[in-house]
Amino acid sequence: MADLFNTLFPHVASKLDELWISTLQTLYMMFVSGGIAFLFGIILGVTLIVTKQGGILENKSVFGILDRLINVFRSIPFVILLAALIPFSRFIVGTAIGTTGAIVPLVVGTVPFFSRQVESALSNVDNGLVEAAMSMGSSPLGIIFRVYLKESIPSLVRVSQITAISLIGLTAMAGAIGGGGLGDFAIRYGHQRGQTDVTYITIVVILLMVSVIQKGGNYIIRKTTH
């Protein structure tokens, strides 16, 4: 088996340690930036829902500002965002290169997308449940946690899956300009040096990551759907 692998993937065989490090770097960028983006995305998505017209905390000014800001940042291509945020990344984390330097643009690029996904998921909650909670004297905070978020768990898991898979693509893009990870690994060896077996193995590793995210998310959705 080892001989067959060496024959089919000669360049990868000599770079297994580097492939492992690149995979860990991609996972690091995913978990750190994904965790931060999840927190901010939930907060912004909930804020959009409760402050929109007819919401439990209707506020046209807050909704209008957030709505426009999210639209603006969503419309900026991620490659341009990477370059534009270099000074901000240096200010926040002290560097604009490497896996740590990629965290800031990854968060900024992911939060607007995830916020819209959260808003969409929460908007499917039955208004009757919200009205029932209000009639029983529930506070806005109680309605947010016990109605909106609790009833939307399967939908939130589903949109988190979509966002996590999208984030894998963004980490690869960040790697292409010095962010490290599998994107950097594939570009340096697979593209620049013509070692196509490196590109193929990188694709396989990314597909495995996507598969794990999908299977894990689907399992949670099945357990929380009622």
Q: Percentage of residues in the chain with pLDDT exceeding 70?
A: 94
Alpha-carbon distances, residue 151 vs 32, 93, 139, 171, 221 (angstroms): 27, 37, 17, 31, 12
pTM score:
0.90
As a whole number, mean pLDDT of residues 119-131 equals 90
Helix (H, G, I), strand (E, B) or coil at 225: coil
Domain ranges of the chain: 2-224
Taking the C-alpha atoms of residue 29 and residue 181, their distance in angstroms, rounded to an integer, is 8
DSSP 3-state of 54: coil
What's residue 225's pLDDT?
Answer: 81
Other beta carbons within 10 Å of 153:
16
CA atoms of 148 and 126, how far apart (whole Å):
9
Residue 3: its pLDDT value, please? 65
> To the nearest whole number, what is the mean pLDDT of the chain?
88
Q: With contact defined as beta carbons under 8 Å apart, do 99 and 28 qualify?
A: yes
DSSP 123: T
Residue type, 24: L
Q: What pLDDT is stored for residue 86 in this prediction?
A: 86
Q: Are 155 and 121 in contact (CB under 8 A)?
A: yes
Taking Cα atoms as reference points, which of 86, 111, 112, 84 lies closest to residue 101? Answer: 86
**Model confidence over 133-182: pLDDT tens digits?**
888 888 989 999 999 999 999 999 999 999 999 999 899 888 766 778 88
Which pair of structure tokens corresponds to residue 44?
Answer: 């912004």
Which CATH number describes the domain made up of 2-224? 1.10.3720.10
193 burial via Cβ count (<10 Å: 0-12, 13-18, 19+): exposed
